[in-house]
Structure 1
Amino acid sequence: MSPKIPMLTAGLTALGLSWSGIATVCVADSAEPPAAVAPAASESTAPSPPTVLLLSNGKVLQGPILKEDAGYVIKHKFGEIRFKRREVEGCFATLQEAYQYKLKHTPERDPDERLKLARWCLDQKLYDEAREQLQVLLTLNPNDAQASAMLYNLDAMAERAATRDQQVARTAATIAAEEEPGRPHELDISRIRKPSRRAQALGLPAIFDLPPALAFRRYQEFTRDVHPMLQRRCAKCHNEQGQAGAFQLIPARGVRDYGNELLLRANLDATLRLVNPEDPAHSDLLTHTLLPHPPSRQLLFTGQNDPAYRLLSQWVNSLKAPK
């Protein structure tokens, strides 16, 4: 052992800090005593230091973690953040370990808790794990429209990713053929990845027969203008628990959900089912929203001159493909 190690340990002890939280997975305020850590025979067998901090509110922070007497310190590029013990649920070496911890503490036959875990997985981009939880949820409650919509959009996202990969492969072959026809050529990976990154950033939503660029513009307008209005005026009733009929939206739980692509895609698909691409002006989405809504017979809009209705009408009419 280096002679500097005892000095470092003594210095940390004097500051009330400990590296024990960096040696293994740590669970805050656990009722079970921590397992003894065997001395590492070499660096290759030493446990990975935890870099994933799971907060009590479900949020996740990543970075080097230091355990203090009063709680935890996590370092990131902007500095350090301190959390009290009661604010931390646990710290883990990987995000997958954090998922396994949450899975272990999720009631097996509780659909609501399964849905919460699936949403957490989506927030962390653990798409395979989210799909697994949604499938389990649907075995418990086959009629859960929200879980079905989320699973549908996960599958659609996977299909889009596969399509992008195929497009990138074709682009790579085209680049090679154009640069040096008839002769094998080493591909420029940086050039191949450019279209993939653009496609991944855009998402390329499919809206009827609109060209991709125009479809993306309509999707932007839906995200910015139409979807927030539908959430305010429609989602309280038109959801899996309300009197939804054929029109079901996934309600946003907060501001963060307004940027959730899976939720946006699910609600876009639900909205497009009420649009007639051949005659958008006579779409159910426009005609039905001007009628009294049961059971209160309340009007969603004051009339065709209502600014919100005009916004919706303008967007719906823009969905007709140019000839």
Structure 2
Amino acid sequence: MTIRTLSTTFALLVLALAGLSRGEDAAAPTVLPDAAASGGMPPVALPPEPGLKAGCVIMRDGRTFVGDVTSVADGYAIRLVQGGRFVVPYDQVRLTAADVKEAYRKQKETMKNGSASEVAGLGRWCFEQKLYEEGRAECLQAIRLEPNRADLRQLLLRIDAATGQANVGELPEMSVVPAAAPPPVRSASAAAPVGVSPRSNADFVRMIQPLLMNTCGNAACHAAKSETEFRIMAVRPGQGSQRFQSQHNLEQVLRQITSAEPESSPLLTVTRNTKAGDPHHGVFDGRRGTMQFDLLKEWVVRVSREKSGAGTVAAGGKSAPQRLVPIPRGAERSIVIKPRAADGDEVSEGGNPRGIVLTSGERRAEEAIPAESGEQSDEDLLRDVRRESLPDPFDPDEFNRSVHGKTAAELRGAP
């Protein structure tokens, strides 16, 4: 046998072995594409866990896989319950768990700041994984942080629908009068109180009312169920009774304004010169609090002039000039929350007990307001959300739709 023949035989043997190797590779599990290349979170080195066998893997880009999970040389091999097998690199995995319930607990323990958006994201994940009770609890917590989030209320209703609990045995009969009676029903064309200009009325709804809801009506001090005469009702966009609730709140606020001396109105003075332990202490502290107070003061002075006639017609019959204070950008969106000081609480510089100054989206779980006697329970909050999904019997559009099949605007042919 010549040397050339031996070389040819050796080459054929190498090719045959390479073919066998390719056949083995064809049966190997596929590897997912890099998460960063697909728009996911940037990969971070994650130490492998040799021999790990789990049932749930959550990727850094949010994808969740449930099945038989084992640790291999270059990642986690996942055999899905519905079939299919693939490998995900270690640096693309956020966490692993024995099942989705353990994955939920791990996510909750590793929350960065407990903001409403973060809690809501965990609630949506629970809904997708059919952890309905856990998802409901997370939604309720997020609603407490941001009460006006309509998407969270919709998610609660979707959880109810998935569990067959939508408005079943939770709502009182319509004839039952709630503990906090609603304001008297007015016509659909109810206007602002006499003496208040359309501009001031609009500013109240757009800026002053949200400010007071977050500073005064957010706890037990002046909420709808408080025992004080000055009570602020919660108003949420999209409710049929929104207009009447706003009118009720405006009338309540006007009673706290002294037209003769607007800057001495109780609405303004009750938060000034207070001491630690007073429920109004520190409400408008800090830079954002000062911006909010200036906004409220400008509105109070303007409304006082309007009601006394000084802002419309002067003694000589000419329009009296008005000094309009510019509204600082972002003032109406700021939220200032000051919990009550309990005995033994530490007081920071300036006499502010555990002062919290937050803007929307920046609340932290560790800075949450401690529960008070007037705080709404989970059951009451859930019942309110379910009640809001029912048609409002005082909404003229709902009445016309039930009687005539169309709203008044539709009957007139309005676009």
Q: Give me the TM-score of the superposition, normalised by structure 1.
A: 0.39
More contact order relative to length (CA 8 Å, sep ≥ 6): 2
Larger radius of gyration between Structure 1 and Structure 2 = 2
Question: Which structure has more helix as a fraction of its residues?
Answer: 1
Structure-2-length-normalised TM-score: 0.31
